[in-house]
Amino acid sequence: MAAEYNELTDLIIRVDGVSKTFVGKENTVEALKNISLDINKGEIYGIIGMSGAGKSTLVRCLNFLEKPTEGTVFVEGKDLSALSEKELRAARTKISMIFQHFNLLMQRNVLDNICFPLEIVGVSKKDARTKAMDLLEVVGLSDKAKAYPAQLSGGQKQRVAIARALANDPKILLCDEATSALDPTTTKSILALLKEINEKMGITIVIITHSMSVVQEICSHVAIVDQGELAETGTVEEVFSRPKTKAAKKLVFEGENSDTALMKGKHCIRIVFQENSSFEPVIANMVLECKAPVNILLADTKDIGGTAHGQMVLQLPEDKLTANRMMVYLQDRNLEVEELEGYVE
């Protein structure tokens, strides 16, 4: 497997059949079940799932903070399971991690927090401080060098954590729910910063999240984890436009109105608008053409990779002939049309 990995030079991470079982006194939990996926250099890769899906366990397996029960992880062709503890510690210096709750040292000021990982690897105090100041400029906090974590906002703390994670010039940055504790405006600014770091420094970023909006905002590729299993992978655009599994559909439809289950009529479709189609009055024209009303149960627009994508869930008339005419009308205009089973009851 390692030889095959080395031939694929674009790969930076390969997860190969990873399972993780936690054995307790009273029960056994299968957190991960035979997960395999590839992450290429320079990607921003999202791993998404509901709470308890196993995504945080998976991200900790990527640097062997959690050692898989079965399977292994290759990073730049190296099988992490074959490394000694010393070699593993050295490998982890190039795999940095940021967390939901920042994990800053409260007794140290901002500059000293960023210097901390440099001190561990033996960098001189002078050189560490120079590097830390450069990184504070990268994250937009040059004026906060002497402040303490307690004096910072949540967004500022996460920026310090990002600067600290960059101190050892990592090739991979793992973000475990890094924006979950932040408000929406701050979340957008942190995601914009991560995207800028990816583009300017070429660092591969893996984002663990439960929010599809975070994935759509920043990621190029996504893996959906459901109850410890890999449900679906692909580009974000592919998964958004054509979700195949129940888990993917639940995440893509996260903005749906919970009251839709009370509405009458069971024939529902989902249509996806891309680029120019987003600005055409397709639904209005369809209603006029077919001379029958529809209910709009969900309407949403996302920015995916800088391109506007919209989705609608429509409740069609119960008359099958009219409903079929509407679907043909939409398909003739090159829209993605998907029939939804069980969207309303």
Q: How far apart are CA 31 and CA 50, in angstroms?
A: 13
Together in a domain, 234 and 282:
no
**CA quadruple 227, 228, 233, 237: dihedral positive or negative?**
positive
State residue 336's pLDDT score: 83
In a domain, 267, yes or no: yes
In a domain, 274, yes or no: yes
CB burial readout 247-282, b (16+ within 10 A) else e: bbbbbbbeebeeebeeeeeebbbbbbbbeebeeeeb
What's the chain's average pLDDT?
85
Q: How far apart are CA 265 and CA 46, in angstroms?
A: 36
In a domain, 319, yes or no: yes
**Separation of first and last alpha carbons in the chain:** 48
State residue 277's pLDDT score: 54
Is pLDDT of 137 > 60? Answer: yes
In a domain, 26, yes or no: yes
How does pLDDT run across 59-104, given as a tens digit for each residue?
Answer: 999 999 999 999 999 999 999 999 999 999 889 889 999 988 888 9
DSSP secondary structure of 64-98: TSS--SEEEEEETTEEGGGS-HHHHHHHHTTEEEE
Together in a domain, 213 and 259:
no
**% pLDDT > 90, the chain:** 47
Together in a domain, 50 and 191:
yes
Together in a domain, 122 and 197:
yes
Give the structural domain span for 23: 2-246
Q: What is the CATH number of the domain that holds 100?
A: 3.40.50.300
Together in a domain, 148 and 274:
no
Is pLDDT of 1 > 50? Answer: no
State residue 46's pLDDT score: 94
In a domain, 268, yes or no: yes
User: Which of 226, 246, 266 corresponds to the end of one domain?
Assistant: 246
Together in a domain, 165 and 41:
yes
In a domain, 188, yes or no: yes
Q: How far apart are CA 51 and CA 97, in angstroms?
A: 20
How does pLDDT run across 84-93, given as a tens digit for each residue?
Answer: 999 998 898 8
The tokens describing 111, both together, are 């500059």
Q: In this structure, what is the dihedral angle of CA atoms 234, 238, 239, 241, given to the nearest 10 degrees? A: 180
State residue 337's pLDDT score: 86
Together in a domain, 114 and 28:
yes
The tokens describing 231, both together, are 């449900």
Together in a domain, 132 and 154:
yes
State residue 171's pLDDT score: 95
Together in a domain, 8 and 49:
yes
How does pLDDT run across 275-320, given as a tens digit for each residue?
Answer: 655 556 788 888 888 888 888 888 777 766 666 677 888 888 888 8
Together in a domain, 307 and 181:
no
Together in a domain, 234 and 292:
no
User: What domain count does the chain have?
Assistant: 2
Q: What is the CATH number of the domain that holds 314?
A: 3.30.70.260
pLDDT band at 152 (very low <50, low <70, confident <90, very high): very high
How does pLDDT run across 222-266, given as a tens digit for each residue?
Answer: 999 999 999 999 998 888 878 888 888 888 775 444 444 434 557
How does pLDDT run across 193-212, given as a tens digit for each residue?
Answer: 999 999 999 999 999 998 88
